[in-house]
Amino acid sequence: MRPARNVRGAVSLPGDKSISHRYAMLAALAEGKSRLENYSSGADCASTLACLRLLGVKWERIDDAHNVIEVRGNGPSLAAPEQSLDCGNSGSTIRMLSGIVAAQNFSCEMTGDKSLSRRPMERIVTPLNAMGAKITSRNGCPPLRVTGSSLRGIHYRIPVASAQVKTCLLLAGLLAEGETIIEEPLRTRDHGEVALRAFGAELDRQKNQVRIRGGQRLRAIVAGVPGDISSAAFFLCAAALFPDSQLTIPNLLMNPTRARLLDILSQLGLRISVTQLDEVQGEPVGTLQAQGNRLKGATIAGADAAALIDEIPVLAAIAPFSEEGIEVRDAKELRVKESDRVASIAANLRTMGAQVEERQDGLKIPGGQTLHGAEIESFGDHRIAMAFSIAALRAQGETLIRGSECGRISYPAFFSTLETLLER
């Protein structure tokens, strides 16, 4: 990556990963054929589709240019796979799909790559076993051996805020007998609830508690997936680095449980406006316009840390260029992502010459610093690779990001798309 002088232009983003995963899984359980447009191009969402095919779900790509897929639903009963369900690098796939597989009348194994095999799974194993499934793991991590059963609804308080765990239990609750009640310590993204309603399910949400009744039938839908706001974060942070930048992003997801990013960027100084706001299958979508300004500072803590867990790496990567710096607290979950993101961020910033204080649950990164180009590591983590491509835009000299191909996990065209927006 070479330094840039400015960011200017428009970018259309691939479909939101979180919504794409959920739409594919619900389409598999629905009756009829669902058409999903702008389905995520990332490898993680491809892992979900591959697992569904092994479970007997028929789907096909009908328009590669616009990432359109059609999924023929099987209803609530899926077929026993003839081989392990390989979830690749996708924590969303293994955690959420477990809620479906746990309710089936067969046993199977769920595996993943080296990174996924280190990620904690007891957070889904414990409640699913309480619902009547039998799931074993290797020291709390994949592979998972799942023996499905007739599930029964439970009242469960999630100990660590996680939208993946919540959606897993909502899917299990949909296929269980009776009512399932889920309580979160902090409100997380609600794409699972919104998607379930789009497919015809009824559920009740009161503050941090959601209820779903088992035995409901889903209907197929035709839907477009809004642009991924977590991917937008990289381009918006790039724009925030340059006072004269101008960036337009059409068809962008504006879900309130995800849009806290825009508030933080506004607090940092980026000028943001939203036009053409609409609603697609319950999800707000709009066109975002951003203009650069002085980059100030921010603190990310508490509920914000949970809401911004995917966006913290790129916010931290631009923190040295801010006037007041950025402090991140209450984000211990970063330690158990595709890499230990707290350690990965700190290591790369130091390699580029920054001062950074690494804490158990976050980071403190002073502002007013100058970074120099360096050879840095992706640590096999797509968000780390993409975050430091943004930091490199204001560094002095060239930056080499080793293992940057991991960006395909969420956004295969990221680096080529970024280049189209840069002025040098």
The active-site residue out of 44, 86, 304, 310 is 310
Q: Who's near 287: CB < 8 A, 6+ residues apart?
A: 248, 249, 250, 251, 252, 274, 275, 276
User: Checking DSSP bridges between strand 362-365 and strand 325-328, what pairing results, if any?
Assistant: antiparallel
Which residue in 152, 150, 125 sits closest to 138, CA to CA? Answer: 125
Active site includes 228?
no
At residue 90, the 3 state secondary structure works out as: coil
User: How far is 216 from 172, CA to CA, in rounded Å?
Assistant: 12
Alpha helix positions (H), 323-381: 341-351
> In the 3-class helix/strand/coil scheme, how is 149-160 assigned residue by residue?
CCCECCEEECCC
Return the residue matching tokens 């050879």: 375
Q: How would you classify the pairing of strands 375-377 and 400-402?
A: parallel
- Taking alpha carbons only, the member of 420, 382, 421 closest to residue 401 is 382
Q: State both tokens at 335.
A: 């330690």
Which residues are marked as active site? 310
